[in-house]
Amino acid sequence: SRKGVSAAEKRTRLLDYFHETLTFHKLQELEKTVPKEKGIVQQAVKDVLQSLVDDGLVTVEKIGTSNFYWSFPSAVQQAKNAQLQNLEAELNRIESINAALESKIQEAAGGRQDSAQRQEMLKQLQEAEALDAQYQTELKQYSDNDPNLIEAQKKYSQIAKDAANRWTENIFTFQSYCVDKFMVDRQEFNRNFNIPEDLDTLP
């Protein structure tokens, strides 16, 4: 039996087609050529194309009455770099909040013995920081012109997002710890530590 092509593989194949042709295409043309060149069924081309547009990997412009699509490797590189920078900025923001929280909790707890819960939170934070350092090191191994760079960035972005989410959960746990332990008002706590009211995990 013929094995189906996954959604991720379809995206890769269609993006490769743009990078191989290095020109502008209309949807009707892609629906004719891509099935033959890349083995993506005609009915799927439009949806795959739209997913690449949504992620900023393919650009679309309306010229006259027609939409023209294109993607050059440098543009994909820029899109991935932008995603990476956004994630790194979010990580830095959450790390700084964590550092402030940790300092204040140690100060408030004084000489009290650390609880098992707090030890576990610190362990999770250390693991997340270790993962972040590991993937930062891995990224440095790739040169700007290496075709594996985009895949490495994609891999790092997911790891970074997971780490950011773990840190955010730690902030929520620290917050509950202080509210319960020291009878601190939650909103006052957020104001004191400059924690945004809309802080949430990344989707």
- The average pLDDT across 131-147 equals 60
What local confidence, expressed as pLDDT, does residue 158 receive? 67
Percentage of residues in the chain having pLDDT higher than 70:
60
CB 98 within 8 A of CB 170: yes
- The average pLDDT across 145-160 equals 61
- The average pLDDT across 92-102 equals 72
pLDDT at 147 over 90: no
3-state SS record for 150-184: HHHHHHHHHHHHHHHHHHHHHHHHHHHHHHHHHCC
Question: Taking the complete model, does pTM exceed 0.85, yes or no?
Answer: no
Mean of the per-residue pLDDT values for the chain? Answer: 75
User: CATH 1.10.10.10 spans which residues of the chain?
Assistant: 7-71
What local confidence, expressed as pLDDT, does residue 52 receive? 92
pLDDT at 166 over 50: yes
- The average pLDDT across 5-17 equals 91
What local confidence, expressed as pLDDT, does residue 46 receive? 96
In sequence order, what E strands does 58-173 have? Answer: 59-63, 66-70
The listed range with the strongest mean pLDDT (2-16, 35-49, 77-91) is 35-49
pLDDT at 36 over 50: yes
What local confidence, expressed as pLDDT, does residue 178 receive? 74
pLDDT at 145 over 60: no
- The average pLDDT across 126-142 equals 65
Query: At residue 184, what are phi and psi to the nearest 5 degrees?
Result: -90, 140
What local confidence, expressed as pLDDT, does residue 2 receive? 47
pLDDT at 111 over 50: no
**Residue range 7-71, CATH number:** 1.10.10.10
State the pLDDT confidence band at 165, using cuts at 50, 70 and 90: confident
pLDDT at 143 over 60: no
Burial class (CB in 10 A: 0-12, 13-18, 19+), 162: middle
